[in-house]
Amino acid sequence: MIVLGAGSGGLAAAKRAASYGARVAIIEGDRVGGTCVIRGCVPKKLLVYGSKHVENIKNSSMFGIEINGVKVNPGILFKNVRKEVDRLNKLHMDLLEKANVELIKGWGYFTGLNSIGVTSTELSAPLELKAKNILIAVGGRPCRPNIPGASLGWVSDDVFLQKSFPEKVVVIGAGFIACEFSCILNGLGISVKQLVRGGSLLKGFDKELSFSLQESMISKGIDLQFFKEIVSLEGQIGDLRLIDNQSCEDKCGAVIFATGREPFLEGLNLDSIGLKTAQNRIRVDTRNQTNISHIFAVGDVTDRVNLTPVAIEEGRVCSDNLFGQKNRDVNYEFIPKAVFSQPEIAGVGLTEKEALDRYGKDSVSTYKARFRPMSKMLTSLEEKCLLKLVVHSKSGLVLGCHMLGEDSAEIIQMASIALNMGAKKSDFDKTMALHPTIAEEFVTMR
């Protein structure tokens, strides 16, 4: 098998295939690890941890800890994060070698139904490989808006490379990437304005939790502005002038475009082999098979759920079926999602609105708990937690579990097990609480 792309899905598929004795080559023109490891989930989460330290230090005196002369240097944090990313890149390369997967550095493209060409500055001439099976796992990349001066703004990839930041940054977008970067930079003492095209944050997440996050972000000093859309950008990094759809001008040091991602299909030469796409995404069946029987696709290039653990499972299932004589499908039910904002949002299953749309008002019951967490009791912070259970009234089945607050992602990960096993509200009710914790509220709601 030839795997195009050494991201989460491609790595998982390649190593699983090799474990069955298949001869596998993986082609990657960038560093090994993909979006998640190199310029996504992993460095982002490390930045979240770093930015939280500032708030903790500011409130440390209430816990009897006196700290004087605190100085925030974001450049040091970003430098250390890049160092960790370099370590992980080397680690993944070593793991491929141990798994007997051949890593070929370069950019791959189709030269035929069973052949892949590879170009690289390290090669004197293009290389051509052939295989019985081919897996496309090249991932995605950030989008820039089609406006004058768009090249002057950063996308998420650029943010991780910065050695210093201006005093004021404008973030464009309403999704999880926009909210996470706004919270990170705000936590590091940078003035942040976030422009949102619509009237709310985080489409696809529970609306009540999203609104609560909005309130929290504003209370922490983030200037959230809705129904605003940037139409042009002028100047240079450090001295930018942006104009929005209401003809308002604003000056800032940097602009971050967090306006979506798209599959990185450019240069693959898919049209030459007749591989079908829809809206720039590769169409696949339940086995991640394309319209060409021996060509498969997983991860962010497909029209399925674009999350790292999903890509990993898709890659493993693909190789299990091809080389392990197994008969597996990916379970897309109850996939947990999180936003590593400050505070975090996480959820699994149906949101309240999705449940009402599917089952109707008379068949859905919602249980909530809203409170100030104990970790904030000795501080001046008014940050709240909000926990929700969405339940099918007649059967008692828990349809969704959602949370805003510290450690939301850790808690929802465990709740995902319960929902995946078909837990009912009565199962939550008869589970003993662990006190004092935030998560105990999920088993004490009445």
- Active site (catalytic) residues: 435
What are the CA-CA distances from residue 217 to residues 50, 296, 344 (Å)? Answer: 17, 42, 11
List strand residue ranges (DSSP E) for 227-306, in order. 230-236, 239-244, 249-252, 254-257, 261-263, 277-278, 281-282, 295-297
Cα-flanking dihedrals φ and ψ of residue 246, to 5°? Answer: -105, 15
Q: Judge contact between 364 and 399, C-beta under 8 A.
A: yes
What's the rounded Cα separation, in Å, for the pair 148 and 382?
A: 41
- Per-residue exposure over 355-388, b if at least 16 CB sit within 10 Å of its own CB, e if not: bbeebeeeebebbebeeebebbeebebebbbbbb
Q: Judge contact between 28 and 118, C-beta under 8 A.
A: no
Element containing residue 415 per DSSP (H, E)? helix 408-420
What's the rounded Cα separation, in Å, for the pair 428 and 333?
A: 20
Let me know how long the chain is: 446
Q: Judge contact between 153 and 173, C-beta under 8 A.
A: no
For the chain, how far is it from start to end, CA to CA, in angstroms? 54
CB atoms inside a 10 Å sphere around CB 273: 17
Tokens for 173? 């977008």
3-state helix, strand, coil in the chain (%, to 5): 35, 25, 40
Tokens for 78? 């970003």
- The distance between the two most distant Cα atoms of the chain, rounded to a whole number of Å, is 70
Tokens for 151? 């090249």
